[in-house]
């Protein structure tokens, strides 16, 4: 497997891109010089590199000319926590006052300050390039005259969105917390659910300008080693100037770049990510976005919701079947209607055929044109509802669909049956839990509608066969997309369309997890204590 898909495209574009990135790298290498022992030189370098920005603050401590160890604290206002900054400055002032009459050299003074600082994450920075990157990521820099390094104190903070209920994946039963744009908080949400030393994190910095932190999370002993290595290799192969959202990463590392079907799942829910980790998958967190990536995935993962595991297995099984049926309806219903009313009218009952023919008698357009017009109209209304203000968006989209549909029928442009077909198709499309899979269905539906309108059932079948062939050949980080049907794994059927009770799901999915296959003990029955006669009922004590 190639670390980055379609290397020939990247090689073709490399000459055009190299000038921009090479110039930036040359400048960064030029700044990667060791710091001097002069406090004034370090401050001048920071001011020149940051362009005398108004949010760059320098707090000096050399007002007393009798001091021999001047100190300065530098930070970016808005990227730091003001409470922690206050504690840091108070500690420096207190320590300077206590050491003002002692004759300590610069190295001893720096070591003493480090011991007295009230924060834990403190490191020494010795080069100019590291100094710039450290201060721009939310650290305060303590500069002491006479030493050739600075102390970087991690006090990142500022305005951040708190943990809220996810807006893209709502559930009736389950945790109501969702990921935020702060990657440190997202890691904390996962650690709370997985307090185990086997929960591993590997960090990457991607983007020449944005320096975006990307974290690969997995559970050692459960995740496949070859999958972890492959994801790391693809992440290291990304060479770009910016990463602003996890969608950037998804397009760089996914399999089947020209496939309409997604091979990486994204979620806003920590419980979904934790469940994927326990199944042997890996999670990719990107700083600045609440959507994390899950890989590898199969086609059937896009029809499973985290809520399926929080309620009874029979209800979950019923809902999964409903979702798969909705997928088939959203994909095939308009094309089947077009094919039947245009070519294969004989398969309809006579009464239904007469009713449909009567409705279509006054319509000037063929069924294919009717369906395409209504589908495109609905797509426009849906997109308008998304872009409109949240207060009036849903009302406008609903009223617009009703008014336009009713007016089109009364004007004789479309039949009433066509409005029903298009409306039910749109509703079925919303049943699919993940938006990227629902978007793939919307794209393929138009192709099948055209094939059904031109060739009837034969055209639909001629379109489905290549789609199925493509899905069987598609892989996600080495895992077959149509697993466990192709290839067939009987043990994986317990959590596919039919979800068996939790006490029956003893093993993890094959080909997704490593040697640690077992979730629980071999014999887990909810009534095992009753069967053995170990009851705690009051009547048994009499």
pLDDT (tens digit per residue) in 161-190 = 888 888 888 888 889 899 999 998 999 999
What are the pLDDT digits (tens) for 44-70? 888 888 877 888 888 887 655 554 457
Is the per-residue pLDDT at 119 higher than 70? no
| CA distance from start to end of the chain | 69
Omega before residue 484 within 30° of 0, cis: yes
Q: Which residues fall within 8 angstroms of residue 362, CB to CB, at 6 or more apart?
A: 412
Count H helices, E strands: the chain? 17, 12
Q: Which has more confidence, 403 or 12?
A: 403
Percent residues over pLDDT 70 in the chain: 81
DSSP 8-state class, residue 42: H
Average pLDDT, the chain: 82
Domain boundary among 474, 493, 522: 474
pLDDT-based confidence at 523, cuts 50/70/90?
low
Lowest-confidence segment of 25-39, 187-201, 214-228 by average pLDDT: 25-39
Give the pLDDT mean for 387-398. 69
Mean pLDDT of 130-145: 86
Q: Which tokens in the block code for residue 362? A: 């006054």
On whether residue 222 sits in a domain, the answer given is no
Residue 497 domain-assigned? Answer: no
In this model, does residue 536 exceed pLDDT 60?
A: no
pLDDT at 328: 94
Confidence of residue 539 (pLDDT cuts 50, 70, 90): very low
- What total number of domains does the chain contain? 2
C-beta of residue 307 within 8 angstroms of C-beta of residue 173: yes
156: confidence class by pLDDT, cuts 50, 70, 90: confident
pTM exceeds 0.85: no
Task: Examine the fold and report which residue of 456, 474, 492 is the final residue of a domain before the chain moves on.
Answer: 474
Question: Which pLDDT does position 531 carry in this prediction?
Answer: 47
Cα distance between residue 242 and residue 47, in whole Å: 24
Rounded Cα distance, 538 and 499, in Å: 35
Contact 335, 449 (CB under 8 A): yes
Question: Is residue 130, in this structure, part of any structural domain at all?
Answer: yes
* Mean predicted confidence (pLDDT) in 261-289: 93
Return the top range by mean pLDDT from 461-465, 488-492, 496-500.
Answer: 461-465
Is residue 81, in this structure, part of any structural domain at all?
Answer: yes
pLDDT value of position 204? 94
- The per-residue pLDDT for 143 is 87
- Inter-residue contact 274 to 194 (CB < 8 Å): yes
pLDDT surpassing 50 at residue 23: yes
Neighbours of 449 (CB within 10 A): 26
- Residue 273 to residue 190: CA distance in whole angstroms: 8
Beta bridge partners of 221: none
pLDDT over 70 (residue 454): yes
Give the mean pLDDT of 297-322.
91
Establish if 488 belongs to a structural domain.
Answer: no
Which residues have C-beta within 8 Å of that of residue 414, sequence separation ≥ 6? Answer: 363, 365, 370, 373, 374, 408
452 lies in some domain: yes
Which of 428, 456, 474 marks a domain boundary? 474
Cis, bond preceding 366 (omega within 30 deg of 0): no
Read off the pLDDT band of 96 (50, 70, 90): low
Q: How much is the average pLDDT of 419-439?
A: 90
Residue 198 lies in a domain: no
**The two three-digit tokens of residue 201, written as one number:** 């994190």
Give the confidence band of 364 by pLDDT, cuts at 50, 70, 90: confident
- Given a contact cutoff of 8 angstroms between Cβ atoms, the answer to whether 288 and 305 are in contact is no
Q: Decide if pLDDT at 530 tops 80.
A: no
Q: Are strands 292-295 and 479-480 parallel, antiparallel or unpaired?
A: unpaired
- The confidence band for 194, taking pLDDT boundaries of 50, 70 and 90, is very high
> What pLDDT sits at residue 26?
57
Question: Which structural domain, as residue segments, surrounds residue 85?
Answer: 32-154
User: Does a structural domain hold residue 401?
Assistant: yes
Quickly tell me which residue has 């929080």 as its tokens: 310
Q: How many residues are given for the chain? A: 542
User: What pLDDT is stored for residue 377 in this prediction?
Assistant: 84
Residue 347 has which token pair?
Answer: 């398969």
CA separation (Å) from 139 to 136, 188, 428, 439? 7, 19, 49, 41
Could you tell me which residue, 450 or 405, shows the higher pLDDT?
A: 450
């Amino acid at each position: 497997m190639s670390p980055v898909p379609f290397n020939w495209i990247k090689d073709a574009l490399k000459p055009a891109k190299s000038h921009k990135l090479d110039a930036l790298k040359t400048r960064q290498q030029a700044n990667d010089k060791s710091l001097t022992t002069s406090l004034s030189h370090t401050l001048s370098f920071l001011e020149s590199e940051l362009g005398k920005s108004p949010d760059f603050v320098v707090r000096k401590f050399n007002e007393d000319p009798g001091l021999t160890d001047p100190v300065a604290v530098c930070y970016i206002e808005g990227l730091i926590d003001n409470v922690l900054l206050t504690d840091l400055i108070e500690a420096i002032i207190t320590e300077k006052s206590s050491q003002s009459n002692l004759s300590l050299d610069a190295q001893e003074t720096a070591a003493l300050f480090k011991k007295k600082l009230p924060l834990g994450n403190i490191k020494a920075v010795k080069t100019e390039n590291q100094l710039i990157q450290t201060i721009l990521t939310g650290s305060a820099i303590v500069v002491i005259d006479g030493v050739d390094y600075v102390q970087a104190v991690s006090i990142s903070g500022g305005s951040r969105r708190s943990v809220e209920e996810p807006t893209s994946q709502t559930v009736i039963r389950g945790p109501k917390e969702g990921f935020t744009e702060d990657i440190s908080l997202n890691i904390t949400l996962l650690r709370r659910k997985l307090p185990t030393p086997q929960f591993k994190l590997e960090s990457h910095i991607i983007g020449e300008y944005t320096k975006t932190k990307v974290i690969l999370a997995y559970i050692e002993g459960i995740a496949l080693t070859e999958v972890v290595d492959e994801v790391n290799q693809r992440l290291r192969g990304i060479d770009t100037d910016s990463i602003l959202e996890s969608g950037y990463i998804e397009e760089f590392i996914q399999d089947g770049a020209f496939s309409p079907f997604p091979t990486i799942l994204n979620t806003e829910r920590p419980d979904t990510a934790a469940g994927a980790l326990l199944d042997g998958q890996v999670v990719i967190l990107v700083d600045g976005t609440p959507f994390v990536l899950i890989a590898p995935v199969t086609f059937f993962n896009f029809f499973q919701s985290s809520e399926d595991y929080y309620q009874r297995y029979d209800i979950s099984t019923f809902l999964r079947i409903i979702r798969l049926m909705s997928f088939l309806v959203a994909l095939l219903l308009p094309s089947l209607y077009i094919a039947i009313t245009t070519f294969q009218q004989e398969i309809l009952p006579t009464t239904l055929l007469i009713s449909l023919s009567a409705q279509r008698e006054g319509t000037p357009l063929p069924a294919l044109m009717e369906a395409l017009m209504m589908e495109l109209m609905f797509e426009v209304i849906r997109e308008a509802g998304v872009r409109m203000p949240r207060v009036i968006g849903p009302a406008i989209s609903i009223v617009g669909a009703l008014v336009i549909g009713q007016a089109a029928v009364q004007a004789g442009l479309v039949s009433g049956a066509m409005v029903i077909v298009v409306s039910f198709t749109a509703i079925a499309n919303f049943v699919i839990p993940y938006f990227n899979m629902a978007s793939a269905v919307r794209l393929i539906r138009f192709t099948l509608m055209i094939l059904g309108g031109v060739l009837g059932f034969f055209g639909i079948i001629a379109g489905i066969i290549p789609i199925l062939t493509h899905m069987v050949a598609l892989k996600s980080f080495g895992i077959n997309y149509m697993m466990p049907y192709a290839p067939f794994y009987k043990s994986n059927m317990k959590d596919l369309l039919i979800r068996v009770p939790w006490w029956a799901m003893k093993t993890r999915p094959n080909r997704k997890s490593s040697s640690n296959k077992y979730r629980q003990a071999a014999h887990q029955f909810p009534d095992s204590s009753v069967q053995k006669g170990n009851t705690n009922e009051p009547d048994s004590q009499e």
